[in-house]
Amino acid sequence: MAHIDAGKTTTTERMLYYTGRKHKLGEVHDGQAEMDWMELEKERGITITAAATSCPWRGHDVNIIDTPGHVDFTVEVERSLCILDGAVAVFCAVGGVEPQSETVWKQASRYKVPRIVFVNKMDRTGARFVHVVDELHDKLGANAVPIQIPVTEGPGFCAVIDLISMRMVEWDDSGQGAEYHAGPIPADLLPTIEGHRIDLYEKLADHDDAFMEEYLDGRTISTERAREVLRKATCAGELFPVLCGAAFKNKGVQLLLDAVVDYLPSPLDKEPVSGMRTADGEYVVRRPDDDEPFSAMAFKVTTDPYVGRLTYVRVYSGVLRSGSYVFNATADVRERATRMLRMHANRREEVDALRTGDIGALVGARRTTTGDTLCDAGSPLLLESMVFPDPVVSIAIEPKSKAESDKLGLALRALSEEDPTFHVRYDTEVGQTIISGMGELHLDVLVQRLLREYAVDADVGRPEVAYREALTRAAEAEGRFVRQTGGRGQYGHVVIRFEPLPAGAGFVFESRIIGGAVPKEYIPAVQKGIARAKETGSIAGYPMVDFRAVLLDGSYHEVDSSEIAFGVAATMAYHDGVRRAGPAILEPIMDVEVCAPDEHLGDVIADLGARSGQIGSVDDRFGGKVITAAVPLRCMFGYATALRSMTSGRGNHTMQFAAYRRAPAAVQEEIIQRAGRAAERNQTPVA
């Protein structure tokens, strides 16, 4: 996991080469990297979808998932970290801790994933190993401990000193880095290296009392003992070992593989997974053992052109054999795993069974989606599912013919099953299909997949911001639905109070009915009525967020009342109450980081200000300046082109969603007017 262009895929390619999984090095810039198997990945030179593989090293099977670095595809990192036992965080020796590095580090901390750090690109001019370690402490709050020290930095990088074994490891440029030499440390470097080793041992002593006693008593500490203590601290998430290398120049990858085996946990080192027993709601644990009942998490769904729908799973306990049935506890359905595959990017290797700790793909699980729990039907349990961010950018897409309409529907359904951050809805007011994603690049890739993989001929609109609506004050409203049709009528009556909540609180429903003014069986219908109505907002058609609806009072008719009537009454109360509660438009604000040469700093800052940006900081980075700012997403469309023009092609930027904030009054008015005009255009005259 890493920021864009830190070298994740290149490092993975070297791992596969040195472990014998592949016999030829593939480069990202040539479109030959095995892990970047999609045509779009080869064309753009970026990772778009997380690719899984496995390889042998020192008698162990190592499962690897190579994740994207672009924030638009952050869901791939999220669902990978949810099921993995450890992670390798890759940092550029020049760029250090970059924005997406912070994001993926926080994601790993949320899932309590142990990490080792690989400082890559040590061969680049401006590489600063110690500076990166300092940034790990300062920016990430990580207790990073170097276990390797580079002998030289920059274009002359060719050797590191291992502080555990106290040996110098040196590579030459022959044999594509497969051979390296370990020898004694040069005498002139020993004083400096001893200082680093003391720092390492002191940190190990802080995390192991027995080791501290041995160290303070002056006893000789063996390499195996130091590794044992470091492994324990790493698996507990207390220390993060730091290694260095230059993957593109074939240096440091074998030692990184050794560190994965030595310090990151195997499934046996992790705590048993726990889940809720569906029968009685009690929590139970599943030990990582083939003899335990089967349990697994489905973390990814893809469509393979040859075998159809593939469901990627991580097995936590038990064994699943080909052709057997499995219970989906999330969807409460039974699935049959007709075939099982071990995936190597897009290459398939059929297996008879998946065992504890395995990552594989099932063929035949047609109703299983991302985040579902698969388990033994005789011992069902529900594992904690994943939470995905809401999309922030939308575009309209229209098929060019009726024949294309059916193809488009099938393709959108398949893509939305694969990507939980890709949303599809039909806007009845404007009569268009709206697709939403995490950014311009995300939607551009999805549209290209529609055109290429699914051969859909469609027209695509310009990107639109995914605004939200929110209340500014509390208000009370009454909804009364009465209809008499000669026979049994409809009657529903509610009084509801609507209150704004802090950002991120979501929709909260509360009932304060006393004395049966609204019968208990109708209260869920009231909640559902409000939940449906909030999806189309009230003033501009955007979803209403962060509010509480409190059911205070109401009345019912013993014969005419029904769930439908109370649902309609709740909707009526919602529209009246929200209108009184001063609804406002919220817009997404993006955290933007711009890297630009010194001579263009003034132009970049002025342009960000013109885009309503708030400058956060301006820092030095090798070869230029780094500007951080908070900018409304509506002002960032086309920024990449503008930045290239301003900086003669030398500037670059990254941005990621930060929060929703109330839009300026003029912007709100414009959005409301635009929504009104769109509704008028699509109204059908009544004869």
Question: Each residue of 322-357: pLDDT tens digit?
Answer: 999 999 999 999 999 999 999 888 888 999 999 999
- Taking the C-alpha atoms of residue 390 and residue 277, their distance in angstroms, rounded to an integer, is 29
The candidate with the shortest Cα–Cα distance to 260, out of 18, 423, 446, 495, is 18
Residue 666 has a pLDDT of: 92
What does the pLDDT average to over 263-286?
89
In this predicted structure, what is the pLDDT of residue 351? Answer: 94
Residues with Cβ within 8 Å of residue 251, at least 6 apart in sequence: 122, 123, 157, 158, 171, 177, 245
Look at residue 345 in the predicted model and tell me its pLDDT: 84
148-150 β-sheet, strand order = 148-150, 159-162, 167-171, 180-183
Percent of the chain topping pLDDT 70: 96
Q: Which of 103-107, 117-121, 242-246 has the lowest mean pLDDT?
A: 103-107
Give the CA radius of gyration of the chain. Answer: 29
pLDDT digits (tens, 9 = 90+) for 287-317: 999 999 999 999 999 988 888 899 999 999 9
* Cα 384 to Cα 299: distance, rounded to the nearest angstrom: 12
User: Rounded to 5 degrees, what angle do the CA atoms 522, 525, 531 make?
Assistant: 150
At residue 29, does pLDDT exceed 70?
A: no
d(CA 379, CA 372): 16
Chain centroid, CA 555 distance in Å = 46
Count, in order, helices (H) and strands (E) of the chain. Answer: 16, 37
What is the pLDDT averaged over residues 608-620? 92
- Short-list 395, 396, 398, CA closest to 463: 395
**Could you say which DSSP state residue 581 is in?**
T
Phi, psi dihedrals of residue 108, rounded to the nearest 5°: -65, -40
Nearest-angstrom CA–CA distance, 153 and 149? 10
CA 245 – CA 200 distance, rounded (Å): 19
Q: What is the mean pLDDT of residues 419-432?
A: 79
Among residues 82, 63, 65, 86, the alpha carbon closest in space to that of 237 is found at 86
Residue 574 CB coordination number (10 Å): 26
Q: Select from 357, 586, 574 the least CA-distant residue to 468.
A: 586
pLDDT tier, 32 (very low <50, low <70, confident <90, very high otherwise): low
> Does pLDDT of 687 surpass 50?
no
How many CB atoms are located within 10 Å of the residue 608 CB?
24
Beta strands in 121-257 (DSSP E): 144-146, 148-150, 159-162, 167-171, 180-183, 240-244
What pLDDT sits at residue 685? 42
CA 226 – CA 683 distance, rounded (Å): 74
CB atoms within 10 A of CB 92: 23
Contact 355, 315 (CB under 8 A): yes
From residue 231, give the alpha-carbon distance in Å to each of 64, 116, 235: 19, 10, 6
User: So what's the pLDDT on residue 70?
Assistant: 82
pLDDT of 34 above 80:
no
Q: For 360-415, what is each residue's pLDDT tens digit?
A: 999 999 899 999 999 998 899 999 888 887 888 888 898 888 888 888 998 999 89
* Cα–Cα distance, 527 to 515 (Å, whole number): 19
Helix (H, G, I), strand (E, B) or coil at 442: helix
Compute the C-alpha angle 363/365/370, nearest 5°: 110
pLDDT higher for 37 or 276?
276
Read off the pLDDT of residues 177-221 as tens digits, 9 standing for 90 and up. Answer: 778 899 999 999 999 999 999 999 999 999 999 999 999 988 889
Question: DSSP letters of 127-140?
Answer: --HHHHHHHHHHHH
CA dist 350 to 14, 331, 340, 361, 362, Å?
Answer: 24, 27, 6, 10, 10
> How confident is residue 679, by pLDDT bands cut at 50, 70 and 90?
low
Q: Show the tokens assigned to 560.
A: 């005419």
Domains of the chain (ranges, CATH numbers): 8-161+239-263 (3.40.50.300), 273-382 (2.40.30.10), 393-466 (3.30.70.870), 469-582 (3.30.230.10), 585-666 (3.30.70.240)
Distances from the Cα of 201 to the Cα of 187, 223, 225, angstroms: 21, 11, 11
Q: What is the per-residue pLDDT for 622?
A: 66
At 322, phi and psi to the nearest 5? -60, 135
281 or 80, higher pLDDT = 80
Q: Is the pLDDT of residue 683 over 70?
A: no
Q: Alpha carbon 493 to chain centroid distance?
A: 43
| pLDDT of res. 429 | 56
Lowest-confidence range among 127-131, 451-455, 535-539, 683-687?
683-687
pLDDT at 530: 96
Pairing label, strands 475-483, 240-244:
unpaired
Rounded to an integer, what distance in angstroms lies between the CA atom of residue 332 and that of residue 309?
A: 20
How far apart are the C-alpha atoms of 530 and 544, rounded to whole Å? 10
The average confidence (pLDDT) of the chain is 89
Q: Is 376 left (phi over 0), alpha (psi -120 to 50) or beta?
A: beta
Distance of CA 633 to the CA centre of its chain: 20
Is the pLDDT at 654 greater than 90? The verdict is no
Residue 620 has pLDDT above 90, yes or no: no
pLDDT at 77 over 80: yes
User: pLDDT: is 24 or 637 the higher one?
Assistant: 637
The residue written with tokens 């398949």 in the block is 414
**Is the model's pTM score more than 0.85?**
no
Rounded Cα distance, 134 and 146, in Å: 11
233-253 per-position pLDDT tens digit: 999 999 999 999 999 999 999
Structure-model confidence comparison of residues 511 and 647, the more confident one: 511
Cα 34–Cα 37–Cα 43 angle in degrees, nearest 5? 110
pLDDT of 684 strictly over 80: no
User: In percent, how much of the chain has pLDDT > 90?
Assistant: 61
